[in-house]
Amino acid sequence: MAKLVARLDPRWDKYRAKTIADTEKIKAEHRAKYQQQLEQAVKMEHDNYIPQNEKELVQIIRRTPRDILSVKNRNLISGAMSFDKRTAMLVTMPREDITFLNDSDFLGPLNLDKLYKTGDTVFPVLNKSKKVCGLIRTNKLDLLHITKDQPVTKLMEHEVAFARTLEQLLAVFLRAHTDYVLIIDDKEELVGYAELSTLIAVLFNREIKDDFADDSSSTLVSRRDLK
């Protein structure tokens, strides 16, 4: 019996080694095939993937490499997507920051100096009912022809733009061709004002700056030629 076992052992070891090798080879082939199928399935899923809601779309944008979608473009997309959910108060300077004039006031060097010191260029004018009836724009005044007894009502703009929501604000800026809009609440009470530059910053989700050092830049039509 011992001689028989000794004679069979080498054959058995050889057979067992071959069986193990074949099994590992089969497993490796299965793993490679499975990985290939998985990659194909993932690719098909990505190619045919349609986000089901805004959250999934945002996740796709966040996963997009920076060399494909820059930070500025990400901000632009996010600003546009959230625009209709934002209120006008987001871009509103509070009423407390407004310097008002009365329609019974007079403009002269002393009063103008007070206005200039505020740093603002637009000042709403109130009538006797404390309602806004006009605007004084100090950057459009002809200072050479203003006397100390010049009435505010003779110098003010009578067209005043109002808005309540952010979408209304954008529409007013476009229709009225103004850069200054008063913001009112649901009771039509004045709560503040908004400027076009602030709204643009919200729309693009970043501050827009004029990078041109002078009007002679070849990349910009000379502003002096624009009428």
Higher pLDDT, 91 or 3: 91
Please name the residue that has the structure tokens 């989700």. 205
Consecutive H or E run containing 216: none
User: What pLDDT is recorded for position 187?
Assistant: 87
Higher pLDDT, 91 or 218: 91
User: What pLDDT is recorded for position 121?
Assistant: 92
Question: Which of 15-24, 188-197, 206-215 is most confident?
Answer: 188-197
For the chain, percent of residues with pLDDT exceeding 90: 25
Confidence of residue 177 (pLDDT cuts 50, 70, 90): confident
Q: Which domains does the chain have, with CATH numbers?
A: 86-203 (3.10.580.10)
User: What pLDDT is recorded for position 18?
Assistant: 57
Q: How far apart are CA 71 and CA 110, in angstroms?
A: 48
Consecutive H or E run containing 150: strand 150-151
Q: How far apart are CA 122 and CA 139, in angstroms?
A: 8
Cβ 156 vs Cβ 125: under 8 Å: yes
